[in-house]
Amino acid sequence: MKTTRGDFPQEINLHLISYLEMLQRKGIKSIYLTPPGAVHEATAEQKQLSGDQERSVAKETMGGIVEKLSEVDAKVSVCEDCGLHRGRTNTVFGTGNPGTKVMFIGEGPGRDEDIQGKPFVGRSGQLLTKMLGAIDLSREDVYITNIVKCRPPDNRDPQEEEVRCCEKYLIAQIDLIRPRIICALGRVAAHWLLDTKDSLAALRNRENFYRGTQVLVTYHPAALLRNPGLKRGAWEDFKQLTAIISE
């Protein structure tokens, strides 16, 4: 096989170049040279440290992420970049484990979330918690957030300007947490993340990426409450998620 620099077969280099060009066209100006999740793995230097030293370096790294996330949260809490701030009781930033491999993204806070300042705490949230339990995960094992951090009035879909204003916060969360996979909950989250209007069925059945991170699309828990017949499909999606995060 013909090889070039770095012993990559030439055809892989060509694929890589066209992939990078596609990212550039989408406005992505920088990419990580380490795979997602690598921040949570031991570095070469860490591997040479004693167990105690290693744990303290890992803790510091995680401590840094937690601190930066709270800085972003503080900015969100006073954000007035779009009209949604006028109707909010609380901003809803995100909760869970910043060292997780999986980040769940819904569309936006509802009434209960707006009151409590936490994502997915109403009926949909209770179902999400149960679904996580079915794959042996708790809410503390994962990270949960939304496309927009303030409640849209009457639970309407977030509008383009609102999503554009809020995207910087979601990007900051993803860049800090660097999950192995994002799970988009429902049509609205999937459409905004993947910049498409394709059907949920199509999106559930293909490999998707948001800024280089794999996105698994599944039903919104509210849709499962309205139509329990969809639960079988959601279960398939969750099994796929388990397989990916146990790789």
| Binding positions for ligand URA, rule: CB under 6 A | 106-110, 113, 119-120, 122, 124-125, 146
Burial (Cβ within 10 Å: 0-12, 13-18, ≥19) of residue 83: middle
- For 31-93, strand residue ranges (E) read none
Q: Is 61 exposed, middle or buried (0-12, 13-18, 19+ CB in 10 A)?
A: middle
Q: What letter would DSSP give residue 195?
A: T
Nearer to ligand URA, 117 or 212 (CB): 117
Closer Cβ to ligand URA, 54 or 141, answer by number: 141
Contact 152, 73 (CB under 8 A): no
Quote the least distance from Cβ 159 to ligand URA, whole Å.
15
Q: Name which of 212, 187, 238 is nearest 22 in CA terms.
A: 212
Q: Which is nearer to ligand URA, 36 or 94 (CB)?
A: 94
User: Nearer Cβ to ligand URA, position 3 or 138?
Assistant: 138
Q: If we measure between CA atoms, which residue out of 78, 102, 96, 98 comes closest to residue 88? A: 78
Distance of CA 192 to the CA centre of its chain: 12
Q: Give alpha helix (H) positions in the chain.
A: 10-25, 44-47, 51-77, 111-116, 123-134, 160-177, 186-194, 200-204, 221-226, 231-245
In the complex, the smallest distance separating the C-beta of residue 220 from ligand URA, rounded to whole angstroms, is 6
Shortest gap between Cβ of 246 and ligand URA (angstroms)? 26
Question: Smallest distance, Å, CB 75 to ligand URA?
Answer: 19
In the complex, the smallest distance separating the C-beta of residue 99 from ligand URA, rounded to whole angstroms, is 21
| Nearest residue (beta carbon) to ligand URA | 106
The amino acid occupying position 220 is H
> In what order do the strands lie in the sheet containing 102-106?
95-96, 143-146, 102-106, 181-185, 213-218, 208-210
User: Considering beta carbons, is residue 15 or 130 the nearer one to ligand URA?
Assistant: 130
Extract the tokens encoding 99: 């060292």
Max Cα–Cα distance, the chain, nearest Å: 62
Nearer to ligand URA, 149 or 178 (CB): 149
Provide the minimum distance between the beta carbon of 135 and ligand URA in the complex, in angstroms, as a whole number: 20
SS3 246: coil
Residue whose CB is less far from ligand URA, 39 or 148: 148
Q: How far is the CB of 216 from ligand URA (least distance, A)?
A: 16
